[in-house]
Amino acid sequence: MPFTGLRRLVAPKACALLVVGLVTIIGGCGGGTGDSGAGANPSACKQVEAPKPKSVSFKAPKQTVKKGEALTAVVETSCGSFDIALDTTRAPKTVNSFVFLSEEGFYDGLDFDGAAPGSFLQGGAPPVGDADGPDYSIKGELPPNLRYTKGIVAMSPSSGMPPGQVGSQFFIVLAPYVDIGGVYPPLGRIDKGYGVVERIAKLGPPAEGESNPGSTGVIGKLRRTVLIEGVSIKRE
């Protein structure tokens, strides 16, 4: 499944500045979203089977999400749960599509298809086809001065589509900051359970030349299957 512009990304060493193609990652020391530490242990994940291919077809939903309303997505996974505070202020159209797919059960049973510990975690695309996933795409918002910092969740551009055109695939930023050109519509930010996100990401491939399975590395397939068991939307 394509992840436009990020697939060949090389993750940073601690406290280093690396430039890979057009992508800049700034590694840091300390700080972050919290909720890490012991909770990041991959052994806490349940053993699950890889998802079977499925074909779905939805039409782009009508806009029901109101700009600025408080919405939280609770993502249940086989490694635990985490919350995304959805960015309805800057990206109501993007959030609207994600909410629609979540409430239709689209994400249920899908896996996280790639990770680079310390850099990115990606998921949300079916195990067949491309990043369009639900058989429709939308033009997501690209607000000015987009910054992709630790804990930010954004949508991946659909395969072969112009910047901002997205389907179902999303990614979570694990690095303190990445410079990826502002072409990924924002979805929200991890509000709770960041340790679970780290736990999943640690199942990504190790860095080139390193044997430590928990180290950072290129984005690639997880070493074991991690499923999205369901996504529920909380309205405050």
Q: Is 92 helix (H, G, I), strand (E, B) or coil?
A: helix
Give the angle 185-97-52 at the CA atoms, nearest 5°.
100
Q: Say how far apart CA 162 and CA 157 lie, in whole Å.
A: 7
- Most confident among 6-15, 21-30, 99-108, 196-205 (mean pLDDT): 99-108
Strands (E), the chain: 17-20, 23-26, 71-77, 80-86, 114-116, 120-123, 138-139, 148-149, 152-157, 165-173, 177-179, 186-192, 228-235
Q: Tens digits of per-residue pLDDT, 11-57?
A: 332 222 222 333 444 444 344 465 544 456 778 899 999 998 877 88
Q: pTM, whole model, 2 decimals?
A: 0.82
Q: Say how far apart CA 109 and CA 229 lie, in whole Å.
A: 5
Please name which of 91, 44, 81, 33 lies closest in space to residue 231, comparing C-alpha atoms: 81
Please name which of 144, 147, 153, 136 lies closest in space to residue 193, comparing C-alpha atoms: 153
- Most confident among 40-44, 139-143, 211-215 (mean pLDDT): 139-143
Q: Which domains, from first to last, does the chain contain?
A: 17-235 (2.40.100.10)
Radius of gyration of the chain measured on its C-alpha atoms: 16
Percentage of the chain surpassing pLDDT 70?
Answer: 75
Mean pLDDT score, 223-230: 96
